[in-house]
Structure 1
Amino acid sequence: MNLKNLLSRGTVVLVNAAAKMQGMQVRLLAGEVKDGMEHFEPYGFTSNPLGGAEVLAAFFGGDRSHGVIICAGDRRFRLQNTKPGEVALYTDEGDKIHFKRDRVIEIETMTLKVKATTAVEFDTPEIRTTGKIVSQGDQVAAGISQVNHGHGQVQAGNGVSGQSVAL
C-alpha cells in the first residue's frame, strides 16, 4: 500500500447531480483525470459545485481505480470573516443564510419564496418591513375579513365639526 496515494487534491471538471450519489469528473494533481467519482455529502445537505471548485479525494488502500470525493469547497465564493461558532450557507451569486451570534439569522437574496401547503406561522411580538406588503388574497385580523366585511354596520364617529357623520 502506497500511503501517498490515499488522498489527493483536485478540482471539479463536471458534475452529475441527477444520480442518487452525485458523481464528479475531477482533475487531480499532476493532471490525472478521474471520471465518476462519488461525492459523499452530509445528510440533508447537497450542492452542485461549479467547475474549478476544489475537492479532496480519497482512495481506499491507495487503489486509484475507485476513489470518492469526501469534500468539495470553493474558496472563490466562501463567506469570509464569520465569528467563532457561526454557520453559513452561500452561493456563487451572493445568496446566503448566515446563522450569526446572539441568535440572529440573516438571509440575503433577491427573492425569497416560501411554499407551505397549510400555513406559515409567525410567533413574534412584532413584524417590521422597510417596503410595502402586497397581498392578492384576503387578509383577516381579529377574525374580520378585509374583503368580506361590510361597513353598513359601523357606527359613525364625530366629524371635525363635532357632529355625527352619516355613512
Structure 2
Amino acid sequence: MIQQIERLARRVWMLLGRGRITAPANDAGPVQIVQVQLGANETRDHLRRAADYGFTSHPPVGTDAIVLFPMGDRNNGVVVATNHQGSRMKGLAPGEVAIFDNRGQSVFLTAAGIVINGAGLPLTINNTPTVTVNASASVKLNTPELDVSGLIKAGGDIIDNAGSNAHSMAQMRAIYNGHNHAVTGVQGGGATVTTQQPNQQE
C-alpha cells in the first residue's frame, strides 16, 4: 500500500516541469517539436508544443517553457506555455494586448488605440484584391515620398503644397481653362508676336 502511494506521489510530482528551450524548434511538421532542459541532469527532446488556434511562433533559444507530462510520464511531454524574458513587452495597462517578437516588432492594442511598430523593417500586405480604410476624420501619411505604380482616383478635390497653395487642382484647372493673355505689338499681315504671361496667375 505504501509503495502504491509513493508511486502515485511520484507521478503527481512528475506531472509538471519548468525549464528552458535549448535548441531551435523543428517547425516543419503539423506540431512544433522542441527540446527543453528541465534541470541540470534532465533534458527532454522531441517535446510537442501546443499553441492556440490562429497563433503560432518560433520561440528563440533560452525561452522559458512549462511542460505538462500526462500521467507523470516524462517521455510524453507537451509544452503548454512559453515566455521569452528578454523580449517580453512590459508596462501594459489592464486590458491591453500585444503581439511581439525578439526583434522589436509589435502590434500593440493600447487603451488609446492600435500601434504597430515595424522595428525598422518593411511592412508588407500581400494577396488581397482591395484594402479599405474607413476613417471618420482623416488618413495621414508622414513620409517623404509616396510612390504609386498605377492610377490615382479621388472623389474630392486635390490640393498640393497644402500649407501654402490656396487653390485645389480643380480650381486651378478652371482658372487655366478661362485665362487670357495681354497681346502687345500687334502687327498686320503674316507677322507673329509672343504674348505676355496670363492675366490670371492662379
User: Structure 1, residues 67-113: CA drift from partner, whole Å, max 9, x if none?
Assistant: 100011101100000100000011111001000013x0000002211
The one of 140, 147, 156 equivalent to 1:134 is 147
User: Once superposed, which parts of structure 1, at least 4 consecutive aligned residues long, lie more than 4 Å away?
Assistant: none
How many residues end up aligned between the 2 structures?
155
Contact 1:8 1:29 in 2 (8 A): no
The one of 63, 76, 80 equivalent to 2:73 is 63
The one of 35, 38, 41 equivalent to 1:28 is 38
Q: Tell me the C-alpha RMSD between the 2 structures.
A: 2.3
Scaled by the length of structure 2, what TM-score is found? 0.70
Q: 1:30: how far off?
A: 3.2
1:46 is the counterpart of 2:56: yes
- Which one has more relative contact order, counting CA pairs under 8 Å at least 6 apart? 1
Paired amino acid for 1:115: N
Paired amino acid for 1:8: G
* Equivalent in the alignment of 1:120: 131
Q: Aligned partners of 1:31, 1:140: CA distance in 2, in Å?
A: 67
**Helix, strand or coil for the counterpart of 1:141?**
coil
User: Structure 1, residues 101-159: CA drift from partner, whole Å, max 9, x if none?
Assistant: 13x0000002211124310001113111221322122211129xxxxxxxxxx542558
Which has a greater percent of strand?
A: 1
Among the aligned pairs, what percent are the same residue? 27
- Give 5+ residue unaligned stretches, structure 2: 1-7, 157-172, 181-196
Which has a greater percent of helix?
A: 2
**Rg: which structure is higher?**
2
- Give 5+ residue unaligned stretches, structure 1: 144-153
Q: Aligned partners of 2:30, 2:66: CA distance in 1, in Å?
A: 20
* Equivalent in the alignment of 2:199: 163
* Equivalent in the alignment of 2:92: 82
